[in-house]
Structure 1
Amino acid sequence: MRNAFEIQGGKKLKGEIIPQGAKNEALQIISAVLLTGEKMTINNIPDIQDVNKLIELLGDMGVEVNRISRDVCTFEAKEIDQDFFNSEAFKTKGGGLRGSIMILGPLLARFGKASIPKPGGDKIGRRRLDTHFLGFEKLGARFDYNPETGFYNVDASNLRGTYILLDEASVTGTANIVMAAVLSKGTTTIYNAACEPYLQQLCKMLVRMGAKISGIGSNLLTIEGVDSLGGTEHTMLPDMIEIGSFIGLAAMTGSEITIKDVKYKELGMIPDVFKRLGIQMELRGDDIYIPSQDHYEIDTFIDGSLLTVADAPWPGFTPDLLSIVLVVATQAKGSVLIHQKMFESRLFFVDKLLDMGANIILCDPHRATVIGLDKQIQLRGISMTSPDIRAGVSLLIAALSAQGKSTIYNIEQIERGYQNIDARLKALGADITRV
């Protein structure tokens, strides 16, 4: 059986690790190169499947792509092959990549039309794309779904600025609407806009390209349409999900790890949530140093009630790290309630942790109570399959802390989001083999 990781757990790790560029920022930024015919240089690109597929897709569309190094790429979208959007190749490639929805805003803004296959992606429950489509419609786009071809054809020959109140603070939805609005006529106001650092990064880059955007970092964005945008250079933030994953990994395995260049100010409450689990860390320059600790004890609320960790739109805690928090809590002293509000099947990997000996009560599809083992009982290695990106890494962390051998199948899911993860963990002393 190919594509599995075999892990001998229970080893303490040690050393420095550099987080990759942010996956969720990359999908927006790389789509935005379609907004101009001028040269765009993008740095700190994560070398992962979802991002590489999007770059390949841009090349197929006629964008001149020049990969200078593994993490630096230049793009020139002078000419776009409009016929490509009705091809089987686009249907196959675009349909299998959830990030492909992000090219829609830029294409509508610059060319006034686009086609897109029904998007695919992760198996973590229904993820609505209505926010994107409703936003485009308010700007004046017309959608026509063809059930025979499975394509949406969109006419946006007359986009005009307008007031948009988003039904949810969707990061990709906000990004897509912003990219459509920057070249629309007149002023667009987006309220209940997502304000994640990744979205701020996109807006700042668009401003450098000549866009007029105010309110960056807040949930109220005002965009004055301009006629055209120029090229620029952009460097992506480190991936905050990776940083959180490595904090959890250090705690679970009792390891001394330094996470380099984390852009601490952009991490929001991520470090604080891990500190509430009892994990010690210190900021050294812009590095997070985590000392080796044999125990970590979960905080309770001030009135003595059980700590609850729930996800919320930024600046709340990101849903992408809840599975990591859940795994880390299994070896803490104390209990915590994990409340996953945004996706209904993200907690369904808990059965694998139960097989490993964790003490978890799955209350319903959204909530799990973890009763920590305080490292008195080590998890035991098992064979398991990764259901989605974040659960995959959580199970990988569990396996690294467990006694004996674990095998994780379906690691393509992990590799969609984490570049070269086995080699990077090996460099810290992990016993991980690809089989």
Structure 2
Amino acid sequence: MKTLGIEHIEKVEKGTILSAKGFKAGGIHAGLRYAKKDFGMIYSEKPASCGAVYTQSHFQAPPLKVTQDSISQQQMLQAIVVNSAVANACTGEQGLKDAYTTRHLIADRFQIPEEFIAVASTGVIGEWLPMDKIEKGCSEVMVESNEDSAQSFQQAILTTDTVEKSACYQLEIEGEIITIGGAAKGSGMIHPNMATMLGFITTDATIASEKLQVALSEAINQSFNQITVDGETSTNDMVLVMANGMVEHKTLDEKHPDWKTFKKGLQLVCEDLAKQIARDGEGATKLVEVEVVDAYTDDEARVIAKKVVGSDLVKTAVYGADANWGRIIGAIGHSDATVNPETCDIYIGETLVFHQGTPQAFSEDIVSSYMKGEKVEIKIALHIGTGVGKAWGCDLTYDYVKINASYRT
């Protein structure tokens, strides 16, 4: 494990969604895609507390409605079933029926209540699920607790992603080791306030659903809601967390002395996954991180960071390794936040390029060389308050157009 310098929290370098006690998973090729795995499942040995955050799109897909229905009944989950290739979005009553049928098939096979099952789909919008293949997935998927099973699940949820995405952290609560693991998918149609991505998080901590929801919502605001690839939001996106209490300790809440440690661990998992999604943006070659400090408030710092990282002009400048800081100024200038140009500083990497309203002399070659790396950091210091915030995105390349011009073909 790699120590992060945060008290009681460590990153598990090869940890997965199955690193927490009591969870199993699996993924198979059910035939929704030509050859790749396309149907996956996560299973908890016992019903788990849960929390969820959903896309802000007006066109929420049927799987989200079924998942919301499940959670609303008992506020507990024991299984999550996911298919890729077909989003089952904008599919009317038939789409809703198919999502409920999927839930019923898993409940029947694993002999658990239907309301303990969440359903998720990702892929092309406006196509009905091929239910013969979904039935095949429900009847044949196997869940186990080994590394191969975790990898199979991670592969099954991907669409245009080029890499699997997983993260795991451990922390100490009352002398016991708690594990939080996660897996995610996302590459295009990524924008703040939940975008075309799915995130699944497991933990063996003991916590009630109500408090887990609070912790998840806070973590989302500082992670998944701070990434953008192309400014587009989709129909199916959600982050789900299950806590099965397999490690015994006093129930976590705001009064528990380790509450902040648990929240920080959950945030780190979300942030890790969010950055992996941003780095894997369709056609992307670089991860872009924008940090804003000394803003009027934390919220305003996050607003500015998202505005800059989401600017097409900034993204194309990063792709071209062009130290055109005027594009950063342009993005800051039309953000809905408090800004005083005469106190603003801008850094690209370690180089100060703009200071208190005045251009700074710097080596174009040095900054351009830095921007050719796999990660480009931009720092903005506003000097008007104590607010801080970060956002993550990627560069905008020719390949993004190619991928999305032929997404269905």
User: TM-score with structure 1 length normalisation?
Assistant: 0.28
Per chain length, whose mean CA-contact separation is higher, i.e. which structure has more relative contact order (CA < 8 Å, sep 6+)? 1
User: TM-score with structure 2 length normalisation?
Assistant: 0.29
